[in-house]
Chains A and B, each alone.
Chain A
């Protein structure tokens, strides 16, 4: 069965520093992977998705993620953190190609310090 594990429930960085949020997946088939962001009191917004094309995926707001099959990872990065990046981030994998059901990780809260 497909699953994702997000390492670190809280990550704190200084404004302008590198952001690295970790996600490892488990999948018996080639996975489709997603990163979503959730701002306080809002729904989830798609940052980027991997659909077996390029392994380096660029998303919105300067975020990108690299699919590494050998490491079963799909870590999210941003070169320079901005205060507005403070939010909760979720990694997700498609559970079933027949239904498009998403399985989410536990989430990582990103804090950005001035």
Chain B
């Protein structure tokens, strides 16, 4: 079974530039999550989708971050414009459904450096 795919793996940009990350979840997984992991911290949920609908985006900085999952499969996360503090690893995860005990499967992440 293929895991969660993410691209690119690494990205270096200047502040005020734009950047986009792509995630393809495990086939059949209805729930998709984007996390931000700043160095030395645990992952923090940015946005959660159930199929193509947003379940939780309470911690997404909506003035600069956006995400979509148009066909309920793969997803993109965009930052425009980027700030220095956006330097982090962006992790995508998926699970079969929303449930307390459903395991979330994580992709390898995209490491973003903003200069």
Establish whether residues A92 and B42, one from each chain, have CB atoms under 8 Å apart when the complex forms: yes
Within 8 A of B (CB), among A36-73: 36, 41-46, 49, 51
Measured in the bound complex, the distance between the Cα atoms of B103 and A94 in whole Å is 11
Nearest CB in chain B to that of A92: its residue: B42
Is B45 part of the binding interface, using a Cβ–Cβ cutoff of 8 Å? yes
Smallest CB–CB gap between A32 and chain B, Å?
5
Establish whether residues A51 and B100, one from each chain, have CB atoms under 8 Å apart when the complex forms: yes
Q: A42-B108, A99-B48 are in contact. Are A49 and B43 (CB under 8 A)?
A: no
Establish whether residues B43 and A104, one from each chain, have CB atoms under 8 Å apart when the complex forms: yes
> How many residues of B are in contact with the other chain, CB < 8 A?
25
Is A28 part of the binding interface, using a Cβ–Cβ cutoff of 8 Å? no
Q: Is the interface of A mostly helix, strand, loop or mixed?
A: loop
Nearest CB in chain B to that of A4: its residue: B42
Establish whether residues A32 and B101, one from each chain, have CB atoms under 8 Å apart when the complex forms: yes
Is B91 part of the binding interface, using a Cβ–Cβ cutoff of 8 Å? yes
Nearest CB in chain B to that of A51: its residue: B101
Is A113 part of the binding interface, using a Cβ–Cβ cutoff of 8 Å? no
Q: 6 pairs across A/B with beta carbons < 8 Å?
A: A32-B100, A43-B91, A49-B103, A90-B42, A107-B41, A107-B42
